[in-house]
Chain A
Amino acid sequence: MNMIQAINDAHKVMMRRDPDIVVYGEDVGFFGGVFRATEGLQKEFGKQRCFDAPISEGGIVGTAVGMAAYGLKPVIEIQFADYIYPGYDQIVSEVAKMRYRTAGEWSMPMVIRSPYGGGIFGGQTHSQSPESLFTHIAGLKVVVPSTPYDAKGLLIAAIEDPDPVIFFEPKRIYNGPFDGHHDRPVTPWARHKASEVPEGHYTVPLGKAEIVREGEEVTILAYGTMVHVALAAVEDNKIDAEVIDLRTLVPLDIETIEKSVQKTGRCLIAQEAPRTSGFASELATLVQERCFYNLEAPVGRVTGWDTPYPHAYEWTYFPGPKRMKTALQKVMAD
């Protein structure tokens, strides 16, 4: 399966198991979503459980709050992460704080799915990575898968989770892994082992990172598309790096990170999002606080620039192989 098929399958598995799951968003009903993630759901489960929504992110999230309060389990889609902001008040002020402000009287078991990330010539409003605007909000869990296998397992885990989960899907790798080499043809998921997606129900637990490449010389922390960029950069530069796919940003798998950095003594963090106040900054601080005496070099960050995402300058902005190489060399030389 590719990542879209895996996400679609996760919906089907869960909707068959739990009649309280409802799926809606812009174009997700009859049409099956602009990325096909919800294809076939309305046909199988009917219009009461999968339907099109008006173009109103605030309305989509706001009504989902009411549905969750009633006892349903909304799995809603925001068409692009760049368009999640009109729903931000509902997410931050209502969804995130509900369990806390009512001391558990009401909770918000919902999943907010949204395609995110760049590398697709999406320009300013089809490329953003706003994860740090959500990792900063107490009460939300934030998940970013990087393979079809994880996407299905994490989405099922997110749907089953009692807390609200923001599920960011790196749309650049919906059809195949992308390592940043935009000048080379992209291989489809079929040739990747993580495209083997089991049928039926399985989960990838939230809050658990995965070491996708073991190594001794440096720890690379990445998530989403940047996992594949990091892996390629490690091979290109012949560095024995340990690459960790965080998978869940909140709650973070700090143990796996600590253990790795204590072993390697060096750490590089890769994210697509702009640098200032990005999630990499939180990771760098945590590593510095917890592994200071193991560190042999300053913690490095490979990020997007502190600019809006430009169209024509896609490959100037995207943190690809060149930026990875420079950063790797620096963290190894320091």
Chain B
Amino acid sequence: MADKQPSRRNAPALALHVPEPPFRPGDTPDFSSIKVPPAGSAPRPDTAVAARETHPLATDLVRVLDEDAKAVGPWDPKLDADTLRKILKDMVTVRVFDDRMYRAQRQGKTSFYMKCTGEEAIATSAAAALDFEDIHFPTYRQQGILVSRGYPLVKMMCQIYSNPGDHMKGRQLPIMYSDKKHGFFTISGNLGTQYPQAVGWAMASAIKGDSRIAMGWVGDGATAEGDFHSAMTFAAVYNAPVILATVNNQWAISSFSGIAGGERATFAQRGIGYGIATLRVDGNDALAVYAAVRWAAERARSNKGPTMIEFFTYRAEGHSTSDDPTGYRAAGEAQSWPLGDPIERLKAHLIGIGEWDEERHSEITKNADAEVRAAQKEAEKLGILPEQGKSDIGSVFEDVYADMPWHIAEQRDQALEEQR
């Protein structure tokens, strides 16, 4: 097959289509072609709506905060100022935390880190909209859930440093958090696996006649995994009380969302094909995120079934500390992103309604910074990665099974012998 040999001489030659992002390094990004409907324009159906009737919402964009940061339209969750301030504070904390941990990685204190810059509203606001008893099956970019649920920052850092304060005993890569009490399912490196797991948890809740619901998360890239399809199928078949979130941040490492199948249909539109109610939401609008998750939660809790939500956002930073986005996308994309910065938008809204000011904002930023620094100091007292992995070698062999079988015990003894 080295040479091109058309099988039908008269037919036009076929050509493989390989999607390309609109801008590459050196280009000037211009997102004016992205259709951003005005805030408040998307209708808000009753939560008992039939899945197929949500079709228009799969291409629309649920937005609450308008250009002047005013909350408008039927999706305005009408939150009290305290709740809004809490979400804002959580977002600020996540961003400060990300910056410090990114720096810690650059300082060689840990091996790896992943920021969620620009996506802070999604996890923090979604977490605020669910009950504490509900469970999340997150990816590695929903650290905002832990922050929102009051998980100690020190514990997060101990996990990142793999030090003795890490209750997973240093076994997991940094940021692969897990906390049962905070309804945060253990993060796996294998993409998409948590999506059907969230459905299974929700099925279990339904089997037991419980009232708790589950929320599963994937990124745009991982929707291409087979687990996405099986999760959607099972969720629809069993009417599982689950919210299936897809965070479309436009990038899967270096692949733009077109490579994941986002070029000709929105990710939300996939939900309709499975018979799942679907919303497409401005992911940089904390109020829209909250309202959508609340809507889906009400639907799930009243046995009306699953909801798929596409959060439309932009991954403002590199994929991870091992990634350099200047190698594949245009500089300044985050700044030209039409949906803006989630923190700035909520801040402007709170100021607009007279519940916030610049002074208080710089105060919470300062406080978040102090809180993160203090946590870092405390965590580092317990050790950083380069010092770890020496004190308790025997622990490597624990927890493979409930009881250690003989063959693992023999290997543990061998490992201990090697260290003498």
A276 interface residue per 8 A CB criterion: no
Question: Which positions 167-187 of chain B face chain A at CB distance < 8 Å?
Answer: 167-169, 171-172, 176, 178-180, 185-186
Which A residues are CB-close (under 8 A) to B205?
A: 70
Q: Of A62, A250, A252, which contacts B231 at CB under 8 A?
A: A62
Q: Of A22, A94, A99, A103, which contacts B193 at CB under 8 A?
A: A94
Q: Is the CB of B201 within 8 A of A66?
A: yes
- Known A63-B196, A103-B399; judge A54-B169 contact (CB<8 A): no
Q: Is the CB of B401 within 8 A of A66?
A: no
Cα distance A48–B205 in the bound complex, in angstroms:
11
Q: Is the CB of A139 within 8 A of B400?
A: yes
Q: Is the CB of A63 within 8 A of B200?
A: yes
Q: Is the CB of A59 within 8 A of B186?
A: no
- Known A103-B168, A105-B186, A141-B401; judge A66-B178 contact (CB<8 A): no
Cα distance A58–B225 in the bound complex, in angstroms:
11
Cα distance A69–B179 in the bound complex, in angstroms:
12
The interface-forming segment of A85-93, A170-178, A233-241 is A85-93
Which B residues are CB-close (under 8 A) to A100?
A: 171, 399-400
Q: Is the CB of A70 within 8 A of B201?
A: yes
Query: Which residue of B204, B208, B407 has the most chain A CB atoms within 10 A of its CB atom?
Result: B204
Q: Of A63, A86, A139, A207, which contacts B199 at CB under 8 A?
A: A63
A14 interface residue per 8 A CB criterion: no
Which A residues are CB-close (under 8 A) to B179?
A: 105
Question: Which positions 97-129 of chain A face chain B at CB distance < 8 Å?
Answer: 98-107
B226 interface residue per 8 A CB criterion: yes
Q: Is the CB of B402 within 8 A of A62?
A: no
Chain A, residues 247-269, CB within 8 Å of chain B (1/0): the string is 00011101000000000000000
CB of B184, distance to nearest CB on chain A (Å) = 10
CB of B158, distance to nearest CB on chain A (Å) = 13
Which A residues are CB-close (under 8 A) to B185?
A: 69, 106
Cα distance A89–B222 in the bound complex, in angstroms:
14
Which B residues are CB-close (under 8 A) to A90?
A: 193, 196, 227
CB of B172, distance to nearest CB on chain A (Å) = 5
Q: Is the CB of A66 within 8 A of B186?
A: no
Chain B, residues 154-173, CB within 8 Å of chain A (1/0): the string is 00000000000001110110
20 extra A-B contacts, CB within 8 A, seeds A100-B171, A207-B405: A48-B207, A54-B233, A62-B227, A62-B234, A65-B196, A65-B200, A66-B204, A70-B204, A72-B208, A86-B226, A90-B196, A94-B193, A94-B197, A100-B400, A104-B399, A106-B180, A106-B185, A163-B402, A251-B401, A251-B405
Which B residues are CB-close (under 8 A) to A48?
A: 207
Which A residues are CB-close (under 8 A) to B398?
A: 103
- Known A22-B207, A94-B188; judge A62-B407 contact (CB<8 A): no
Q: Is the CB of A105 within 8 A of B180?
A: yes
Cα distance A70–B134 in the bound complex, in angstroms:
11
CB of A115, distance to nearest CB on chain B (Å) = 22
A138 interface residue per 8 A CB criterion: yes
Q: Is the CB of A58 within 8 A of B178?
A: no
- Counting from the closest, the 6 A-B pairs by CB-CB distance are A66-B200, A62-B196, A59-B230, A63-B200, A251-B405, A70-B204
Q: Is the CB of B226 within 8 A of A58?
A: yes
- Known A58-B227, A94-B190; judge A66-B207 contact (CB<8 A): no
Cα distance A62–B230 in the bound complex, in angstroms:
9
Binding site for A on B (CB under 8 A): 137, 167-169, 171-172, 176, 178-180, 185-186, 188-190, 193, 195-205, 207-208, 214, 226-227, 229-231, 233-234, 237, 398-402, 405-408
A275 interface residue per 8 A CB criterion: no
Cα distance A138–B196 in the bound complex, in angstroms:
23
Cα distance A148–B19 in the bound complex, in angstroms:
57
Q: Is the CB of A69 within 8 A of B402?
A: no
Q: Is the CB of B204 within 8 A of A99?
A: no
Interface range on chain A (Cβ under 8 Å from partner): 35 or more
Q: Is the CB of A101 within 8 A of B407?
A: no
Q: Is the CB of B168 within 8 A of A102?
A: yes
Cα distance A64–B199 in the bound complex, in angstroms:
9
Which B residues are CB-close (under 8 A) to A66?
A: 137, 196-204, 214
Which A residues are CB-close (under 8 A) to B201?
A: 66-67, 69-70
CB of B155, distance to nearest CB on chain A (Å) = 12
Beta-carbon nearest neighbor of A138 in chain B: B400
Beta-carbon nearest neighbor of A207 in chain B: B405
CB of A25, distance to nearest CB on chain B (Å) = 13
Beta-carbon nearest neighbor of B214 in chain A: A66
Could you jot down 13 A-B contacts, CB within 8 Å? A48-B207, A54-B233, A62-B193, A62-B197, A63-B197, A63-B199, A65-B196, A72-B208, A94-B197, A99-B399, A102-B178, A103-B398, A106-B178
- Known A66-B197, A105-B186, A106-B178; judge A56-B401 contact (CB<8 A): no
Query: Which residue of B167, B169, B196, B229 has the most chain A CB atoms within 10 A of its CB atom?
Result: B196
Beta-carbon nearest neighbor of A252 in chain B: B407
A162 interface residue per 8 A CB criterion: yes
Cα distance A252–B205 in the bound complex, in angstroms:
36
Q: Is the CB of A54 within 8 A of B204?
A: no
Which A residues are CB-close (under 8 A) to B226?
A: 58, 86
Which A residues are CB-close (under 8 A) to B178?
A: 101-102, 105-106
Which A residues are CB-close (under 8 A) to B405?
A: 207, 250-251
CB of A148, distance to nearest CB on chain B (Å) = 27
Which B residues are CB-close (under 8 A) to A162?
A: 402
Question: Which positions 140-181 of chain A face chain B at CB distance < 8 Å?
Answer: 141, 162-163
Cα distance A48–B189 in the bound complex, in angstroms:
32
- Known A66-B137, A66-B202; judge A102-B402 contact (CB<8 A): no
